[in-house]
């Protein structure tokens, strides 16, 4: 069953198109990452999902129920963290969580559980204003996790966390998803969400550019066979005669992106050796995730 | 509603607002006591340097009804600022601390949260009025205000203070709306000052009897024997109803982008 259904979502603020026809579906137990640059429309989409913003057009459903500000029956099933972590600075960690537990109609015992889960026990009696940025983020995540919601909507959940914290939260979210929690998160770091998400939706300028199953991500990564010989001009001529399409790079290497070269570099090596121009360097180079992300969003911008 | 109330009361209780407002009301009570001391002992006040050459305190009679009237006027004039700042804080802090977004998608209805904010502010402001009255009575007894403090005199005086407090609290609801729509303290404070100035001007022009923002001060007796008209009292109620309804409507319907 689809837990989140967004269809043709449009949100305009005057002439500004914050979201321009985005659609996405998140199935139960899935970890869906909404990936985009700052201002791409991630937070507007998330706020609309949570009934904080009314869409100009399109529909938003959670658990099959249309989202409205009055849809209170939904909110007991949803935990969320939107943008920067926030807490009442004069209240302690425990008081902040107790207050939120009351508003979520949860028993006081729910507070102890999330305090343990997020490693906040040493800071339980500390005022929120005295917390580090990382611990403020943990507190915000703890508020979202109160009562083990069926759906977690997390806007940039790794913000402010140190590398150990990022790994810890990633593991926690994976565990929750394995136990049946559906997670929709946003990020602008592909390398991070690639380690966590089961599916990635790339949003740019308010439009969904593409959706990729995390398992398929390697297939979207651009590859090139890079070759260096003692005589690059001769090597290029031999390769062209062999049906390849080598391009000269700025660093002097020859580069080929056609599948025959990328997936069978041994054939390229054999051709060059047999033609009397053996390679001194031959390797398949993979595009890193950040470059892939920028390439995909650039494609979206050009669409 | 119970959850929202306990949350709002906890936030208010743990903030600096209680101490700051108690301090401000204490200054008001002390000022009332000072004026009554000067009225009771003008010679000694002059000797102590408490009176300037142009001091005009002849209208304050050294009596309990007069002292209660002074406390009611302090409630009306000081209250609109002190109670107003309490209401502005209740709403404006959610935007200053970026916590408003955490109140929007909860099993507790947004209307209950807004109502709880107004309720917590109202209860606190009424407690401030109780404190002002108690402090005033103590100061009055200490100063030895002449005339018996009979039950009818005390009931009439205390009643006047509390009706003034309720009227003042009612007009401060507008500041909750301003702090919400303006998403912060500053718009609420700006409207508060606009109201204070407008109330003075309208009262000076002679229309204060029906102008809601002038009604609390007129009820307290600031403009003499003439009280507000029934239309004025109704206008205060209507304005409070509209402000509370509009605030709930705004939290319910506005696009919450920040």
Q: What is the pLDDT of residue B57?
A: 55
Collapsed DSSP state (helix, strand, coil) of residue A209: strand
Residue A25 to residue A23: CA distance in whole angstroms = 7
Residue B116 to residue B119: CA distance in whole angstroms = 5
Mean pLDDT within A157-167: 84
Say if A59 is an interface residue toward chain B (CB within 8 Å): no
Q: A-chain residues within 8 Å CB-CB of B104?
A: 50-52, 69
Q: What is the pLDDT of residue B1?
A: 79
Residue B32 to residue B16: CA distance in whole angstroms = 25
Locate the domains of chain B by residue range: 2-253
- Two tokens at B209? 């009897």
Q: What is the pLDDT of residue B52?
A: 59
B105: nearest CB among A52, A54, A88: A52
Locate the domains of chain A by residue range: 1-77+150-217+290-303, 89-145, 223-286
How far the first Cα of chain B sits from its last, in Å, is: 25
Mean pLDDT within A217-224: 82
Q: Which CATH number applies to A1-77+150-217+290-303: 3.40.50.300, 2.30.130.10, 3.40.50.2000, 3.90.1150.10?
A: 3.40.50.300
CB-defined contacts A:B, below 8 A: 84
What is the dihedral angle through the alpha carbons of A157, A158, A162, A163, rounded to the nearest 10 degrees? Answer: 130
Closest CA to A228 of A299, A266, A191, A279: A279
- Two tokens at A275? 């033609």
B105: nearest CB among A50, A89, A102: A50
Q: Do B255 and A54 touch (CB under 8 A)?
A: yes
- Two tokens at B169? 């609290």
Say if A4 is an interface residue toward chain B (CB within 8 Å): no
Q: Do A69 and B252 touch (CB under 8 A)?
A: yes
CA atoms B40, B44, B46, B50: torsion sign: negative
Q: Do B14 and A105 touch (CB under 8 A)?
A: no
Contact yes or no for B169/B83 (Cβ under 8 A): yes
Q: Do B107 and A69 touch (CB under 8 A)?
A: no
Q: What is the pLDDT of residue A303?
A: 44
Residue with tokens 């109609």: A105
Residue B87 to residue B171: CA distance in whole angstroms = 11
Question: Which region among A31-35, A202-206, B114-118 has the lowest average model confidence (pLDDT)?
Answer: A202-206
Percent of chain A with pLDDT over 90: 55
Contacts with B5 (C-beta within 8 Å, 6 or more apart), sequence order: B116, B119, B120
Collapsed DSSP state (helix, strand, coil) of residue A158: coil
Helix axes B151-181, B64-96, angle to 10 degrees: 20
Closest CA to B113 of B171, B192, B180, B191: B180
Q: Which of B6, B105, B113, B115 is best to mutate for the A interface (most A CBs within 10 A)?
A: B105
Range list of H helices, B108-253: 110-143, 151-181, 185-204, 215-220, 230-253
C-alpha R_g of chain B: 20
Q: B-chain residues within 8 Å CB-CB of A72?
A: 106-109
Q: B106 to chain A: nearest residue by CA?
A: A75
Closest CA of chain A from B97, distance in Å: 7
Residue B124 to residue B208: CA distance in whole angstroms = 27
Q: B116 to chain A: nearest residue by CA?
A: A103
Report pLDDT digits (tens) over A119-144: 899 999 999 999 988 889 999 999 99
Report pLDDT digits (tens) over A44-100: 999 999 999 999 999 999 999 999 877 888 999 999 999 888 999 999 999 999 999
Residue A143 to residue A93: CA distance in whole angstroms = 10
Provide ipTM, 2 decimals: 0.86
Say if A78 is an interface residue toward chain B (CB within 8 Å): yes
- Taking only the tens of pLDDT, chain B with its 258 residues reads 789 999 999 999 999 999 999 999 999 999 988 888 888 887 776 777 666 555 555 567 888 888 999 999 999 999 999 999 999 999 999 999 999 999 999 999 999 999 999 999 999 999 999 999 999 999 999 988 887 888 898 999 999 999 999 999 999 999 999 999 999 999 999 999 999 999 888 888 888 788 899 999 888 887 776 788 899 999 999 999 999 999 999 999 998 987
Identify the burial level of B225 via C-beta atoms within 10 angstroms of its C-beta, where 0-12 means exposed, 13-18 middle and 19 or more buried: exposed
Residue with tokens 């790339």: A202
Q: How many CB atoms lie within 10 A of CB A69?
A: 21
Contact yes or no for B219/B167 (Cβ under 8 A): yes
Q: What is the pLDDT of residue B53?
A: 54
Q: What is the pLDDT of residue B209?
A: 83
Mean pLDDT within A23-37: 91
Question: Which region among A195-209, A286-300, B91-105 has the lowest average model confidence (pLDDT)?
Answer: A286-300
Q: A-chain residues within 8 Å CB-CB of B11?
A: 88, 90-91, 99
Q: B-chain residues within 8 Å CB-CB of A84?
A: 98
- What kind of architecture, by CATH, is found in domain A223-286? 2-Layer Sandwich (3.30)
Q: How many CB atoms lie within 10 A of CB B26?
A: 13
Choice between A286 and A151, residue whose per-residue pLDDT is larger = A151
Q: What is the pLDDT of residue A149?
A: 94
Choice between A1 and A170, residue whose per-residue pLDDT is larger = A170
Q: What is the pLDDT of residue B39?
A: 80
A143: nearest CB among B16, B97, B102: B102
Closest CA of chain A from B95, distance in Å: 10
Closest CA of chain A from B75, distance in Å: 29
A89: nearest CB among B97, B105, B255: B97
Angle at B11 between CA B10 and CA B15, to 5 degrees: 115
Residue A161 pLDDT > 90: no
Q: What is the pLDDT of residue A68?
A: 85
Q: Do A72 and B109 touch (CB under 8 A)?
A: yes
Question: Which residues are paired to A201 by β-bridges?
Answer: A34, A211
The residue length of chain A stands at: 303
Residue B254 to residue A266: CA distance in whole angstroms = 63
Task: Using an 8 Å CB-CB cutoff, list residues of chain B that contact chain A.
Answer: 3-4, 6-7, 10-11, 14-16, 97-99, 101-110, 113, 252-253, 255-257
Q: What is the pLDDT of residue A51?
A: 93
Mean pLDDT within A191-200: 86
Mean pLDDT within A231-257: 90
């Amino acid at each position: 069953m689809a837990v989140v259904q967004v269809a043709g979502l449009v949100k305009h603020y005057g002439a500004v198109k914050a979201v321009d026809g985005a659609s996405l579906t998140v199935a139960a137990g899935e970890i869906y990452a909404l990936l985009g640059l700052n201002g791409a429309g991630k937070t507007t989409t998330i706020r609309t999902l949570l009934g904080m913003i009314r869409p100009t057009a399109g529909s938003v459903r959670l658990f099959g129920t249309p989202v409205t500000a009055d849809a209170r029956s939904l909110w007991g099933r949803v935990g969320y963290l939107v943008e920067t972590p926030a807490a009442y600075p004069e209240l302690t960690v425990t008081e902040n969580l107790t207050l939120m537990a009351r508003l979520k109609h949860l028993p006081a015992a729910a507070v102890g559980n999330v305090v343990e889960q997020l490693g906040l026990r040493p800071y339980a009696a500390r005022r929120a204003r005295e917390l580090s940025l990382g611990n403020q983020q943990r507190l915000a995540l703890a508020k979202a996790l109160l009562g083990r919601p069926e759906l977690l909507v997390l806007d940039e959940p790794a913000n402010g966390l140190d590398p150990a914290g990022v790994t810890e939260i990633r593991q926690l979210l994976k565990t929750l998803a394995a136990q049946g929690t559906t997670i929709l998160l946003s990020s602008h770091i592909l390398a991070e969400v690639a380690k966590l998400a089961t599916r990635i939706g790339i949003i740019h300028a308010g439009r969904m550019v593409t959706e990729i199953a995390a398992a398929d991500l390697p297939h979207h990564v651009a590859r090139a066979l890079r070759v260096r010989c003692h005589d690059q001009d001769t090597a290029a001529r031999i390769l062209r005669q062999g049906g390849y399409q080598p391009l000269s790079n700025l660093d002097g290497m020859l580069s080929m992106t056609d599948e025959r070269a990328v997936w069978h570099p041994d054939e390229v090596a054999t051709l060059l050796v047999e033609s009397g121009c053996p390679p001194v360097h031959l390797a398949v180079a993979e595009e890193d995730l950040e470059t892939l992300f920028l390439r995909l969003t650039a494609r979206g911008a050009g669409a | 509603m119970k959850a929202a109330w306990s949350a709002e009361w906890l936030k208010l209780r743990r903030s600096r607002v209680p101490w700051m407002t108690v301090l401000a009301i204490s200054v008001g009570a002390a000022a009332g006591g000072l004026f009554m001391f000067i009225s009771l002992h003008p010679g000694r006040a002059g000797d102590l340097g408490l009176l300037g050459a142009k001091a005009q305190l002849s209208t304050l009679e050294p009596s309990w009804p007069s002292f209660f009237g002074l406390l009611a006027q302090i409630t009306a004039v000081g209250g609109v600022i002190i109670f107003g700042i309490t209401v502005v804080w209740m709403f404006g802090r959610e935007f200053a601390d970026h916590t408003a977004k955490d109140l929007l998608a909860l099993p507790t209805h947004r209307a209950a949260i807004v109502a709880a904010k107004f309720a917590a502010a109202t209860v606190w402001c009424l407690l401030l009025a109780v404190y002002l009255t108690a402090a005033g009575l103590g100061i009055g007894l200490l100063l030895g205000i002449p005339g018996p403090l009979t039950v009818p005199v005390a009931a009439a005086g205390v009643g006047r203070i509390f009706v003034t407090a309720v009227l003042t609290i009612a007009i401060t609801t507008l500041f909750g709306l301003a702090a919400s729509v303006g998403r912060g303290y500053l718009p609420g404070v700006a409207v508060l000052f606009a109201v204070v100035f407008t109330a003075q001007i309208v009262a000076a022009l002679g229309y204060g009897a029906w102008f809601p923002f002038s009604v609390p001060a007129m009820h307290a007796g600031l403009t003499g024997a003439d009280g507000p008209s029934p239309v004025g009292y109704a206008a205060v109620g209507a304005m409070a109803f509209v402000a509370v309804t509009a605030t709930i409507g705004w939290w319910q319907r506005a696009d919450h982008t920040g």
